[in-house]
Amino acid sequence: MPQKNFKTTPRPESKELVRQASVEATDSSSTASSSRASIEGPSEQVPKKNFKTTSVANGHYANIGQYINACFKSGKICDMCFRIGDLIWPVHRVVLASQSNLFRSIFESEDFSTKPWTPKQIALRGVEQETLSAFLQFLYSGDINIQASMIPDLLKLARVFEVEKLRILCHQQIPLMNNEDLLKLLKTMILVKDYELCDIIMRVVAERGFGQIRECDAFYDLDVQTLCMVLSYDGLIVKSEVEVFNAAVAWLHHHNIEERMKSLERVMDSIRFSLMSPKSLFKCYKKCPALKGNAYCNQLITMANWYVNQCILNKNVYFFINVLLLTP
């Protein structure tokens, strides 16, 4: 049986994010001159000569990168490969080492006087082929088209192979996702226990407003664990707690009612009944008749009603005392 929830913390009414950034840059340059005088004969000023050093570093490195990327696409001069099932992606160790902290530590520790022990093939499971292709393309070019369905696998690859830049890019995509994909991703991240990303998603959900989220089809397809995370989130912006209760009841009655009603106590435990008025608490039984036959839910509403009435009573007593004190 769930623990009794008696949260009295109000939901926020509004939330603003202010981002400020400033960039300062300074340039400095120095010049130098030199002269030479002959030891014999009168002193004579030697004409200055300007020697220009031509730098082709940018184009040079770009050519190297283009050539390696072309080798990757054509599968040439590769010394390792990734494998999913029967499909193989040939790669270059130097590229893996340049982008992955894990591979860098492995390859740079090798003694070239001995035969390398590093495996030639890395077999992956639980990763989609399309996602692995996008991951490798990112390692070679720095470009990637992140689709919502790819994010769980991309984060998995970024975490295992320690590619921090990719992890940051995935996190930056969260605010750009639509509500449907956002809720689907939240469900997946809870399953893999990536609570850092869950918190990022919930902040975005809270900023958009609960009214938008509950209108999504994906909301009614959430499992009970994900639903309770959404309903109980402290930063959820709602008009009143009645809105949260109505959404919970709508989820329970949406489909597979008999199975979902088994989670009635757990779902109701996410509702902050103490933020409702006595009149709204009474209407909860009409909205969801199953509450009457559940002792735990009855206790939640009874305790909330007692708390609300105590608050009203204390407020009235405080007001009455003030009136007496001000009366001559």
State pLDDT tens for residues 265-286.
Answer: 999 999 999 999 999 999 999 9
What is the rounded distance in angstroms from the CA atom of residue 129 to the CA atom of residue 137?
Answer: 12
Both structure tokens of 179:
């509500």
Cβ pair 273, 304 in contact under 8 A: yes
Nearest 5 degrees, angle CA 240-CA 242-CA 243? 75
Which residue is listed with tokens 């009414």? 13
Both structure tokens of 141:
């070019």
CATH topology of domain 64-176: Potassium Channel Kv1.1; Chain A (3.30.710)
Query: What is the full DSSP assignment across 44-103?
Result: -PPPP--PPPP--HHHHHHHHHHHHHHHHHHT-S--EEEEETTEEEEE-HHHHHHH-HHH
Q: In CATH, which of 1.25.40.420, 3.40.605.10, 3.30.450.20, 2.70.70.10 is domain 208-328?
A: 1.25.40.420
Which residue is listed with tokens 């809270």? 206
What is the rounded distance in angstroms from the CA atom of residue 257 to the CA atom of residue 205?
Answer: 26
Query: What is the full DSSP assignment across 223-280?
Result: -HHHHHHHHT-TT---S-HHHHHHHHHHHHTTS-HHHHGGGHHHHHTTS-GGGS-HHH
pTM check: above 0.85: no
State pLDDT tens for residues 137-194.
Answer: 999 988 899 988 899 999 999 999 999 999 999 999 999 999 999 999 999 999 888 8
Residue 128: how many other CB atoms lie within 10 Å: 15
Report the chain's terminal Cα–Cα distance, integer Å. Answer: 56
Q: Which helix (H) or strand (E) holds 122?
A: strand 121-123
Residue 103: how many other CB atoms lie within 10 Å: 23
Domain boundaries, the chain: 64-176, 208-328
Quick one: pLDDT at residue 290? 93
Residue 315: how many other CB atoms lie within 10 Å: 10
Which residue is listed with tokens 């050519």? 63
Quick one: pLDDT at residue 224? 95
Residue spans of the chain under pLDDT 70: 1-9, 11-58, 111-119, 315-328
Cβ pair 226, 262 in contact under 8 A: no
Residue 75 Ramachandran class (φ > 0 left, ψ -120 to 50 alpha, else beta)? left
Is 93 exposed, middle or buried (CB count within 10 Å of its CB: 0-12, 13-18, 19+)? middle
The CA–CA distances, whole Å, from 192 to 162, 195, 197 equal 18, 9, 11
